[in-house]
A = this chain, B = another copy of it.
Amino acid sequence: MEPPLKGIKVLDFTRVIAGSFCTMYLADLGAEVIKIEMPEYGEVMRYQPPVKNGESGFFITLNRGKKSVTLNLKSPETKEIVHKLIKNVDVVVENFKPGVMKELGFDYESLKKVNPAIVYASISGFGQYGPNSDLPSYDLCIQAMCGLMSMNGYPGMTPMRIGNSITDYMSGVLSVVGILCALRVRDSAPEGQGKGQYIDISMFDAGMTMLENSITRYDITGEVAGLIGSHHPSAAPHNIYHTSDGYVAILIIDNNSWKRLTKVMGRPKLGEDPEFATIEARLKNVDRVDEIMEEWTQSKTSQEVMEIFNTHGFACGTVHKVNEVMESEQVSAREMLVTVDQPQLGKLKIPGCPIKFSETPVQIGEPAPLNGQHTQEVLCEMLGYSAEEYEGFKKNKVV
C-alpha cells in the first residue's frame, strides 16, 4: 500500500529545526513537500555543520524527500506564484517569528481567501499570542523559560541545557498531530465543503507538557522541582555508574528487586540490612548505595553488567556513544539508519523514520534537494508557467 499521506501537498516555508522537523515527518509519511528557499543562498541550515562538498548533513537529515523551490519572498511577482501554489496544496507550514508572514502578505488570513481549505500551521518560540510572542527565541532560551532547564543538572550546579533541542523536536511533532487532525476535520465534511484552519504551536507550550510531575507537585505540596541529576525522588539505586570501559544506567524500583540484586552481586546481607533493605533507607543512604553499586560495576565491562542485569530481569542501559548506537544490531534490525545518495556529498547515513506501519510502511530514500532543484518543475508543470516566464523570473531574481 502507498504511504499514509500520499496525495497530500505541503507548501513549506520552514527553516532551522522545529519547522523542518515537522515537514520532515510529512515527507516521510508520503506527502509532497515543497520547501521554499531563498534564491542562491537557500535555507540557513544548508551552512550548518557537518558540511562536506558544500552540503550539510544536518540539513539533509531534516529535509530528506522534500522538493526545493527558490522564491524571493519580497519580490512583487512572488505573490502571484504563492497564490497559485496555495490553490494547489493542502497544508502550509512556517516557523518565522510571529508577524513575518503577515508582513510578507502570506499569513493565514490572507491565504485562506485564496484557498479556504488550506490547513496552516505556524510554529514559534512562544506562539502567535501571549505577552512573550514577539520575543526572539531559540531552543536554549525556551528550555530556560519553560522550566525544563531547572530540572536538568545536579544539585548545586548551574542548571544546564538539555543536550539536544528538545523543544524544537516536540513542537515539530505536535504540529504534525495538529495538521493531521485538521486534515481529518476538513476531509470529513461533505464533499467540497471541507474548510481548513489555523494551528498555532509554541515551543514553550511543547516544553511545558514535559515537566513530569512537577506542576501537580507544586500545586499539591508547594514543593518546587529542582536539580536531581540522575537520581530519582523515589528509587535508589537510580544513577549512571562507571564500568571498566564506560558507563551503565541502573535503576531498582522495589525492595524485592534490591534483595534479588544483592544476591546476584554476591552481597546478600545488603538485602536484609536495615540501612538498605527499604526504599526509604536506600534514599536516605543514597551516596552509600551509589558507592556499593559502582564498586561492583567498575570491575566489569558495560556489556557484562548489561548481560547480568538482563539475565535476572532487571532493566539496565549501556551509555552508548553515537558511533556505538549507529553500529548496534538493534538499529539495523529496525532500519533506524538509512543511506541516502546525495549528488555532491555521496552516500550519507541519516536516521530512519520511527513510525513503523504494518500496511503502509514508510520508505526513506531521497536525500534533501539541492537549493532550487525543483523550481522549474514546480513552476512550469504544477503551476503552468511557460519556459519563457520561468526564464523571466530567473532573470529578475524572483526565483
Contacts and interface: CB of A to CB of B under 8 A. Distances in A.
Interface in A305-364: 310, 313-326, 329-331, 333-334, 336-337, 345, 348-352, 354-360
Contact of A215 (B224, B233, B251, B351): B351
Contact of A216 (B25, B126, B331, B348): B348
Copies of this chain per assembly: 2
A350 B215 contact: yes
Interface in A148-169: 148-154, 158-166, 169
Contacts of A351: 208-209, 211, 215
A329 B126 CA distance: 12
A229 B161 contact: yes
A384 interface: no
Given A317-B143, A322-B150, A354 B214 contact: no
A58 B141 CA distance: 26
B208 A315 contact: no
A142 B328 CA distance: 14
**Interface majority SS on A: helix, strand, loop or mixed?**
mixed
Interface in A222-252: 223-230, 233-234, 238, 240, 242, 247-249, 251
| Size bin of chain A's contact surface | 35 or more
A264 B153 CA distance: 31
Interface stretch (A44-52, A73-81, A391-399): A44-52
Interface stretch (A32-40, A99-107, A173-181, A275-283): A173-181
A42 interface: no
B49 A141 contact: no
Contact of A164 (B180, B211, B359): B211
A130 interface: yes
A375 interface: no
Contacts of A199: 355-358
Contacts of A217: 49-50, 57, 322
Those 3 A-B pairs whose CB atoms lie nearest each other, nearest first: A57-B216, A141-B317, A144-B317
